Amino acid sequence: MEVYLRGLRGSIPVASVATQRYGGNTTCVEVRLGEERLVIDAGSGLRSLGEELMVQGPVRLHLCFTHAHWDHLLGFPMFAPIFSPHTELIIHAPSTIGGSGIRAVLAGIMDRRYFPVKFEHLPAHIHIHEFEPGESFAVGEAKVATCPTVHPGGNVAYAITHDGWTFLFTGDHEWRPQATDPLSLGVERFLRGVTVAVVDAQYTDDEYAVRQGWGHSAMSAWPERAVRAGVQILLLSHHDPARSDEDVDALEGLIRQRFGDLPLDIRMAAEGMEIRREDNGVVGIRQQPMIPQECSILPPNNTAQGVLTWLNALTQELTRYADMGTLLDRILLEGRRITHADAGTIFLVESEGLSFAYTHNDTLFPGSAASKYVYSSAILPMNHTSVAGYVACTGKTVNIPDMYRIPDTEPYRFNDAFDKKTGYRTVSTLTVPLFGNKTSILGVMQLINSMEDGKARPFTSDMQMRVSLLASQAGAALERGKMTQALLLRMLKMAELRDPRETGAHVQRVGSYAAEIYHRWAERHGVDLDQLRYTKGMIRMAAMLHDVGKVGIPDAILKKPGPLNDDELKIMRSHCILGAALFADGTWDVDGLVRDVVLHHHQKWDGTGYTGTDDPPLAGEAIPLVARIVAVADVYDALCSRRSYKSAWKPEDALETLRQSAGTHFDPEIVQCFEEIFDTIEAIRARYPDQ
């Protein structure tokens, strides 16, 4: 068992140069119990613990509450793990807390009048265990005993026994002058056999004389009782917010002088204290210095409230994206933005290993120039030999200041082949796992070279915390994206059963061609990057559905080996209107684009196309942009694909046909955009080959 004191101030948090050694945070005590972690009270000291936990991956935590006064609760809304769907939080509290139970207490402090996120909307998996004061329960192999104390509104103390010794935290308790009431006698009994006790000792004798009934004890009330109970180490806490470090030092000197003859180690509790059994079997205390956090290059609002505001906005934004490619692009961009990373890659777990799912590199290929690398089909093995593989296998974040100086003690190594091939210099990397439900690994995000003044520098712990928060939200968004993608592909599989030409590879290629053509067109027209990204994803999905209306065409016509007569041709052309009708209700964000694609992708620039309706054909820019794009993508893929009645054309021959048809069949600018990204088009063909 290891105990870490993270907050010991009473009533209200204080922060100044005069409170740095003993700390200014309100009550929070962390207890590590082998594989389990338990925290007592959610004072402001809980916030920094949350940041540390988010860096480490999925969180499982037991949180115990002593009572419902504000200074013991105020850190909970700022506790980052509660905003992650990969957190399992088991809350333990007396059934009497707040008069109506802990759920009502926490819902009350997170009411929309006081806080932007409601308790019932938290994505963490929260379980509540309520007990009667005085009952005991187990956390792993540890026994957790409870005892009611004397405090307005009630309070319970906790005594945790594990690893051969017992730690006690009283929470708030008032020793009254006689202390013969049942609650006080119960606390005296509760002290018996305790090794280390952290107790409420806010007042001097003079202060207590005028503050009786306020629920806190005088320092002098504890030492003799602790000795009678056999306590070895007594730590006085709940420091008055008005006391400076010098004040606390002076009081510690006075209390030691007054009770120095007692066989008891008496100290003032301080933030940063670590309590554990040493190698010699003796429980001792280590004091970690209170070091100010390193300077952050993140925006000035990098406060707990600022982080929560950012996280809430990010979560809402990620829900906008249904397309996996767009979603990966946005997640990677955000990871780079908050770390000033020059480059990055997202790998997704597949049956063969880790696939390169998305990549950025501002130095080598900014903007749409990166697209051809997005469609790489390279696979990394799922083992410990690479950094990404190690993170995927272990679920641990890895932050490396210099990839060329990885210690020999680490199992992974840096493959510098890409650097040698391109002349790029990989220096610092931050690699984080992307978890799905039930902590399954979906993939890995690797950020490269945090830049400052044109030079790569290590990723800071502050950056690591933010990226871990991003990863927690990204995992949930990716699972939604995978579900949407699966549903879309199943719909297309039904179309493939009717028309063997509508293969999964074909629709993947047409969707990707259309998305990348739009990307280049949007760059030419100065489209806002956020709008570009959102529309690009929608176009990819809409383009994949371009021929879905063929499910309504009879097999006799759809699968006829020879040419169609006029009547049959008219029926075949009706697949446009049949497909558009499937998306007439507009319940899906992409429905409008799908209707435009399905209805108009056989329109021609010169006005000689068709929609399968009796309406006259459209011409030029009257044809929806997305339909003009899909027309080019669909025809190119059809020319380059083998059919029962023809061989596959060479890409250069198909491209020449597009050029010759620009201004008649196709929008000339769309053909130009297609030519400008031709290397990306070929990368897409390689990524989605026909079986």
Per-residue model confidence (pLDDT) at position 439: 63
Mean pLDDT (whole number) for 138-146 = 97
* 134 lies in the same domain as 212: yes
For residue 417 the two structure tokens come to 């082949």
C-alpha closest to that of 511 among 630, 384, 623: 630
Structural domain including 440 reads 304-480
Mean pLDDT (whole number) for 265-288 = 90
- Whichever domain contains 607, its CATH number is 1.10.3210.10
Q: How many domains does the chain have?
A: 3
pLDDT at 361 over 80: yes
* 366 lies in the same domain as 275: no
Q: Which residues contact 107 (CB under 8 A, 6 or more apart)?
A: 118, 119, 120
* 452 lies in the same domain as 533: no
* 356 lies in the same domain as 455: yes
| Beta strands, E only, 524-633 | none
Q: 195 φ, ψ to 5°?
A: -85, -50
pLDDT tens digits along 404-450: 999 999 999 999 998 998 899 999 999 999 988 656 889 999 999 99
pLDDT at 295 over 70: no
* 43 lies in the same domain as 117: yes
pLDDT tens digits along 620-659: 999 999 999 999 999 999 999 887 667 899 999 999 999 9
Per-residue model confidence (pLDDT) at position 321: 82
Mean pLDDT (whole number) for 294-313 = 57
- For every residue of 139-193, DSSP letters joined together read ETTEEEEEEE-S-TT--EEEEEEETTEEEEE--S----SS--SHHHHHHHHHTTT
The C-alpha atoms of residue 45 and residue 76 are separated, in whole angstroms, by 10
The C-alpha atoms of residue 375 and residue 143 are separated, in whole angstroms, by 54
* 217 lies in the same domain as 313: no
Q: Does residue 522 fall inside a structural domain?
A: yes
Q: Does residue 621 fall inside a structural domain?
A: yes
Q: Hey, what's the torsion of the CAs at 654, 656, 661, 662, to 10 degrees?
A: 120
* 451 lies in the same domain as 592: no
Per-residue model confidence (pLDDT) at position 367: 64
* 276 lies in the same domain as 316: no
C-alpha closest to that of 418 among 357, 351, 363: 363
- Whichever domain contains 309, its CATH number is 3.30.450.40
Q: Does residue 454 fall inside a structural domain?
A: yes
Q: Which residues contact 153 (CB under 8 A, 6 or more apart)?
A: 67, 68, 69, 98, 99
pLDDT at 186 over 80: yes
Mean pLDDT (whole number) for 226-230 = 96
Q: Does residue 297 fall inside a structural domain?
A: no
Q: Does residue 296 fall inside a structural domain?
A: no
**Average of per-residue pLDDT values in the chain:** 90
pLDDT at 455 over 80: yes
Residue 429, amino acid: T
Q: Does residue 295 fall inside a structural domain?
A: no
Per-residue model confidence (pLDDT) at position 53: 86
pLDDT at 391 over 80: yes
Q: Does residue 493 fall inside a structural domain?
A: no
pLDDT at 320 over 60: yes
Mean pLDDT (whole number) for 381-388 = 94
Q: Residue 498's pLDDT band (boundaries 50, 70, 90)?
A: low
* 624 lies in the same domain as 504: yes
Query: Domain ends where: 241, 259, 287?
Result: 287
The C-alpha atoms of residue 305 and residue 459 are separated, in whole angstroms, by 22
pLDDT tens digits along 461-479: 889 988 988 888 888 888 8
* 329 lies in the same domain as 468: yes
Q: Does residue 488 fall inside a structural domain?
A: no
* 538 lies in the same domain as 638: yes
Quote the percentage of the chain above a pLDDT of 90. Answer: 64
* 514 lies in the same domain as 661: yes
